[in-house]
């Protein structure tokens, strides 16, 4: 049962604030009644379940808004169960989203046994060093790419085929689709031979026409298919892949993969890889998808933070990744700089529909993102005037306004953000982790006159 907005009020001496406060009281009362009905319905369907207090990641100070996050002593903490669903973190450069990213990563590593990975397209070596320090403080042994090379050749021949196909920007129409289909067949033949798939880039490149025919000698049909290719077809395919593997300089022929580490930071430096950066990222995202589906141990939870994903993968690919990996026990935190960086309207809407929690830092165009917080009824008052003189006759009406005003988002200071979920919004100030690699955490003074909060000796990231 909704709240009927009041009729326009013709008033003399009636204060609009009184009307507005009355409306807010009615909204809160109706919300409490709805919550009680929902609790009774859940008990009737499934019986009463014992309430379990989940682990929470400490984020920072509550400023105002709904108590969406767990809040005590003015501190806001994010229950880990909320992080099991996809999280979106948006903010312009300098808005403080890197601190929020690191706090989520460090809190997860400290408070849970989840694996934690970051895929970073900014090429920010300082953030990688800070991540390493936080992971070591949490008792983890982080793997850092490219200092340690990645093994991109795990899995079956079909899985490696799918990974390699992601590397090339294939033509979608015209005559280029013919060569795309030829190249896909060549790669599939090179990776699914009875001898087994290639286990390094050089082994793949060495599988030229005659070698492939020998690998498929026991299968006359496949061997004939190989021999039917012209030399220039296979050479053209090999040249495409050689250009990529030359650019990455053996960094996909390493010793660790996702299943070998409890945490890791994969840094993709565009200055080193150039136009191959996007292909590299697509390869790693495809491998992550295959890892959670086939190579991850059953029941183990994994968190992947994709920083600046708009620079490394199309919004459509990321939307598909979001829709697939959650069912396999993987959580995603997606970190673009703006709504426009989410791959166009269609891909952005798919991502927003799959997102459960949004951390919204300062951005210049927040309108598309604040919609998730919903609206609230506000009273707008007006007074009639005649040639600048008040007639003491006015009216008031209820109007739906954004619960998070866009101008409030634009005005956020570094480190402050709105946390939006479930039609609620809470503004918090995220506490920094380390000021710099090797630095000391800043302390937060207790508000004058307030009781000191209890110590939290079990969490090295105490606020």
Phi, psi of 90 (to 5 degrees): -120, 140
What's the pLDDT tens digit per position in 409-432?
A: 999 999 999 999 988 999 999 999
User: Is the pLDDT reported for residue 173 higher than 70?
Assistant: no
Q: Would you say the C-alpha torsion 173, 179, 185, 187 has a positive or negative sign?
A: negative
Phi, psi of 266 (to 5 degrees): -105, 110
DSSP secondary structure letter of residue 150: B
Mean pLDDT score across all residues of the chain: 82
Q: What is the pLDDT of residue 451?
A: 45
- Gap between the Cα atoms of 164 and 241, Å rounded: 9
Mean pLDDT on 363-389? 77
Other CB atoms within 10 Å distance of the CB of residue 450: 9
DSSP-based three-state secondary structure for 143 = strand
List, as one string, the DSSP characters of 44-62: HHH-PPPP----EEEEEEE
Asked if residue 244 lies in contact with residue 276, where contact means CB atoms within 8 angstroms, the answer is yes
Token pair, residue 293, equals 């589906």
List, as one string, the DSSP characters of 12-31: SS--HHHHHHHHHHHHHHHH
Sort strands 302-307 and 115-120 into parallel, antiparallel or unpaired.
Answer: parallel
Residues counted in the chain: 463
User: Is the pLDDT reported for residue 79 higher than 90?
Assistant: yes
Ramachandran area for residue 389 (φ above 0: left; ψ -120 to 50: alpha; else beta): beta
Asked if residue 106 lies in contact with residue 455, where contact means CB atoms within 8 angstroms, the answer is no
Q: What is the pLDDT of residue 12?
A: 47
Token pair, residue 148, equals 């340690």
What's the pLDDT tens digit per position in 177-236?
A: 777 788 888 999 999 998 899 999 999 999 988 888 888 988 888 888 888 888 888 888
pLDDT category at 380 given cuts 50, 70, 90 is low
pLDDT category at 275 given cuts 50, 70, 90 is confident
Could you give the angle at the alpha carbon of 440 between the alpha carbons of 57 and 118, nearest 5°? 50
Mean pLDDT on 126-139? 94
Which range scores top for mean pLDDT: 94-103, 205-214, 305-314, 436-445? 94-103
Residue predicted with more confidence, 2 or 254: 254
Cα–Cα distances in angstroms (integers) from residue 125 to residues 119, 146, 267, 332, 450, in the given order = 12, 11, 7, 22, 40
User: Is the pLDDT reported for residue 171 higher than 90?
Assistant: no
What's the pLDDT tens digit per position in 319-371?
A: 778 778 888 889 999 998 888 777 777 778 888 888 899 999 999 999 888 88
Q: What is the pLDDT of residue 381?
A: 67
pLDDT category at 391 given cuts 50, 70, 90 is low
Reported pTM: 0.79
Residue predicted with more confidence, 91 or 308: 91
Give the CA radius of gyration of the chain. 28
Q: How far is CA 209 from the centre of its chain?
A: 42
Share of the chain above pLDDT 90, in %: 43
User: Is the pLDDT reported for residue 8 higher than 50?
Assistant: no
Share of the chain above pLDDT 70, in %: 80
- Gap between the Cα atoms of 277 and 311, Å rounded: 9
User: Is the pLDDT reported for residue 455 higher than 50?
Assistant: no
Q: What are the residues facing 331 on neighbouring strands?
A: 303
Could you give the angle at the alpha carbon of 233 between the alpha carbons of 229 and 239, nearest 5°? 140
Mean pLDDT on 11-33? 68
User: Is the pLDDT reported for residue 29 higher than 90?
Assistant: no
- Gap between the Cα atoms of 66 and 51, Å rounded: 22
Residue predicted with more confidence, 301 or 3: 301
Q: What is the pLDDT of residue 305?
A: 95
Q: What is the pLDDT of residue 11?
A: 45
DSSP secondary structure letter of residue 339: G
Q: What is the pLDDT of residue 10?
A: 45
Torsion of CA 10, 15, 21, 22, to 10 degrees: -40
Q: What is the pLDDT of residue 459?
A: 41
- Gap between the Cα atoms of 225 and 182, Å rounded: 11
Q: What is the pLDDT of residue 361?
A: 96
Residue predicted with more confidence, 305 or 230: 305
Q: What is the pLDDT of residue 254?
A: 95
Q: What is the pLDDT of residue 279?
A: 86
Q: What is the pLDDT of residue 350?
A: 81
- Gap between the Cα atoms of 40 and 460, Å rounded: 40
User: Is the pLDDT reported for residue 435 higher than 60?
Assistant: no
User: Is the pLDDT reported for residue 104 higher than 60?
Assistant: yes
DSSP-based three-state secondary structure for 234 = helix
Q: What is the pLDDT of residue 443?
A: 41
Q: What is the pLDDT of residue 221?
A: 87
């Amino acid at each position: 049962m909704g709240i009927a907005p009041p009729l326009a009020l013709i008033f003399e001496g009636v204060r609009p604030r009184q009307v507005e406060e009355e409306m807010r009281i009615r909204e809160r009362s109706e919300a409490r009644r709805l919550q009680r009905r929902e609790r009774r319905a859940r008990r009737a369907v499934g019986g009463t379940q014992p309430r379990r207090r989940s682990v929470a990641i400490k984020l920072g100070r509550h400023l105002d808004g709904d108590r969406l996050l767990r809040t005590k002593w003015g501190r806001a903490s994010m229950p880990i169960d909320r992080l099991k669903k996809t999280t979106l973190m948006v903010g312009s450069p300098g808005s403080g989203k890197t601190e929020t990213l690191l706090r989520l990563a460090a809190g997860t590593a400290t408070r849970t046994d989840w694996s934690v990975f970051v895929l970073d397209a900014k090429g920010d070596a300082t953030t990688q060093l800070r991540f390493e320090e936080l992971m070591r403080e949490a008792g983890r042994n982080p793997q850092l790419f490219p200092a340690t090379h990645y093994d991109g050749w795990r899995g079956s021949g079909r899985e490696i085929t799918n990974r390699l196909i992601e590397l090339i920007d294939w033509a979608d129409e015209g005559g280029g689709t013919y060569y795309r289909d030829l190249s896909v067949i060549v790669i599939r033949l090179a990776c699914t031979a009875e001898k087994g798939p290639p286990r390094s880039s050089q082994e793949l490149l060495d599988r030229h026409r005659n070698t492939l025919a020998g690998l498929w000698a026991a299968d006359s049909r496949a061997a004939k298919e190989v021999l039917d290719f012209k030399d220039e077809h296979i050479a053209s395919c090999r040249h495409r892949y050689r250009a990529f593997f030359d650019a990455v300089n053996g960094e996909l022929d390493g010793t660790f993969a996702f299943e070998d580490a409890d945490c890791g930071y994969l840094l993709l430096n565009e200055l080193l890889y150039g136009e191959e950066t996007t292909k590299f990222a697509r390869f790693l995202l495809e491998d992550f998808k295959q890892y959670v589906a086939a190579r991850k141990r059953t029941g183990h939870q994994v968190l992947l933070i994709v920083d600046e994903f708009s620079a490394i993968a199309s919004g459509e690919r990321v939307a598909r990744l979001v829709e697939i990996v959650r069912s396999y026990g993987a959580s995603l935190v997606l970190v673009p700089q703006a709504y426009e960086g989410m791959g166009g309207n269609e891909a952005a809407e798919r991502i927003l529909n799959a997102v459960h929690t949004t951390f919204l830092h300062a951005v210049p165009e927040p309108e598309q993102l604040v919609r998730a917080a919903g609206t609230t009824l506000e009273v707008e008052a007006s007074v009639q005037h005649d040639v600048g003189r008040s007639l003491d006759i006015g009216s008031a009406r209820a109007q739906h306004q954004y619960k998070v005003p866009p101008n409030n988002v634009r005005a956020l200071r570094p480190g402050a953000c709105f946390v939006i979920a479930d039609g609620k919004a809470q503004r918090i100030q995220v506490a920094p982790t380390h000021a710099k690699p090797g630095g000391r955490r800043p302390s937060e003074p207790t508000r004058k006159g307030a009781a000191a909060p209890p110590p939290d000796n079990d969490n090295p990231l105490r606020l």
